[in-house]
Amino acid sequence: MLKDYVNLVQISLCTHGYPGGAWFPQGNLNEGNLKSVPIPPHLYKAEGRLLFMGCETARTPSGEAFLVAAGRHFFAGRGGIVGGSTVYNLGYSWGTVLPILGGSSSPGKLPERGRLVLFRLDSTGKVIASNTVSSSLF
């Protein structure tokens, strides 16, 4: 899947997802089978960036554990930032957006409905920073 790629800055995986994993036509990717994905030695130009935009991939503690495990596998020996969303995503031709689902509790304001969860790993795979960004649009 990745064997022909080198010197990338970021990989964005816009697939179907579930808490703790991502769906692909050949099957799902989760913490238990990450190591089955071969990573070319020069996949990333410098530190890696990996974004899972599948629905709910980062939801629940198992989702966060999946992100950290994916970062450790994809960034082995170099470190990087891995992220995933906690909500259902809608894809459009101009990019993926975090949608506002449901009604509003007050006229003129839309409720916050999701988060983007991010982890920074060092070259040994240790989490050295994390951040959660809300998808509130207003």
By percentage, how much of the chain surpasses pLDDT 90? Answer: 59
Give the Cα separation of 135 and 114 in Å (integer).
Answer: 5
What is the pLDDT, as a whole number, of residue 88?
A: 61
Percentage of residues of the chain with pLDDT beyond 70: 78
Confidence band for 134, pLDDT divided at 50, 70 and 90: confident
- Domain limits, the chain: 11-134
Q: What would the mean pLDDT of 39-47 be, rounded to a whole number? A: 93
| Helix/strand/coil (H/E/C) assignment for every residue in 15-52 | CCEECCEEEECCEEEECCCHHHCCCCCCCECCCEEEEE
Question: What's the average model confidence in pLDDT over 21-47?
Answer: 93
